[in-house]
Amino acid sequence: MTHKHAIVHVELPSKDSKADSNFYKNVFEWNIVTDEEMDYTMFTGEEGDLGGGFNSVSDDNPVGNVLLYINTPDLKDTLAKIKANGGEVVLESYESPTVGTMATFKDPVGNLLALLQPAGEM
């Protein structure tokens, strides 16, 4: 079970996810898995460590934009709290099959972050 509001996923911008994932595998011995259907390469450390993936670089996602996903048991409630406390919702919600519902937001100083309400907790 994931703790309420724990950081649950990190995305690292990548121009070449295969080369970048090999770097992390060789340096940190991270486990690397590629979901061919989603064209998405993911990483995990040792058991219990935070995992993540490599997100394609684009004009909207330049190198240097690391995206943290924060777990939430109630996406709508958390988005309301973000708005009420000076944050800006960038993308209200979007689904990822078998993963859950996600949203992106900016904190009051402009940092981009994401929320994840896992599929099993909806």
For the chain, give every domain's residue range: 10-57, 72-122
- 72-122 under CATH 3.10.180.10, yes or no: yes
Are 24 and 43 spatial neighbours (Cβ–Cβ below 8 Å)? yes
Confidence of residue 2 (pLDDT cuts 50, 70, 90): low
- Average pLDDT score over residue span 95-117: 91
Predicted confidence (pLDDT) per residue in 6-26, tens digit:
888 999 888 888 888 988 888
The CATH number of domain 10-57, selected from 3.10.180.10, 3.40.50.620, 2.40.30.10, 3.10.20.70: 3.10.180.10
Are 17 and 41 spatial neighbours (Cβ–Cβ below 8 Å)? yes
Are 47 and 31 spatial neighbours (Cβ–Cβ below 8 Å)? no
**CA nearest neighbour of 51 among 36, 63, 35, 64:** 35
Q: In what side-by-side order are the strands of the sheet with 112-118?
A: 31-35, 40-44, 52-56, 7-14, 67-71, 112-118, 100-106, 88-96
